[in-house]
Amino acid sequence: MIVLTAITEEDLDATTHLDAVAHDAAGATALFVGTVRDHDPGADGEVTRLEYSAHPDAAETLRDLAAAVDAEDLRIAITHRIGALSVGEIAIVCAVSSAHRAEAFDIARALVEKVKAEVPIWKRQITVDGSTYWVGL
């Protein structure tokens, strides 16, 4: 069951996602929290912030990807943030609960990888010297 999918400019909270997927039949919950880091292979220099932007269809694409991996005994909550984020801020949260840990881990990882590859979200990296680098265009 998909309990939460969103693209938002609001701060993300892992606990909200954990609470959303909690249920009595869940023996396992896998949580992924992606944060903004201070470096990237595509950037020359230290990254100070990211600016995420999304296509108007990004939320629908995110829902479709979650639906594609959904199964009867799962609960899925995934949100990606857009807007300006500083180093250390949360960019994506994915929580998946299931009866068994292997399934929770596998689905969470697969979904995060699909989001990175398929959801039309782009990021502009800003480095300490003011240079910018686009990723995902």
Residue 70 lies in a domain: yes
- The number of distinct structural domains making up the chain is 1
* Residue 136, pLDDT above cutoff 80: no
**CATH at residue 13:** 3.90.1170.40
Residue 128 lies in a domain: no
Residue 94 lies in a domain: yes
Which helix (DSSP H) or strand (DSSP E) does residue 105 occupy?
Answer: helix 101-118
Residue 59: CB atoms within 10 Å: 17
104 pLDDT band, cuts 50/70/90, is: very high
Residue 49 lies in a domain: no
* Residue 41, pLDDT above cutoff 90: no
For strand 2-8 and strand 75-81, is the pairing parallel, antiparallel, or unpaired?
parallel
Residue 26 lies in a domain: yes
Residue 81 lies in a domain: yes
Helix (H, G, I), strand (E, B), or coil: what is residue 62?
helix
pLDDT tens for each residue of 61-94: 999 999 999 999 999 999 999 999 999 999 999 9
Task: Give residue 115's domain range.
Answer: 2-33+56-119
Residue 39 lies in a domain: no
pLDDT tens for each residue of 46-60: 899 999 999 999 999
Q: What is the mean pLDDT of residues 11-21?
A: 97
Closest to 118 in 3D by CA, of 78, 88, 83, 84: 78
Six-digit token string for 122 = 């782009």
Residue 51 lies in a domain: no
Residue predicted with more confidence, 131 or 122: 122
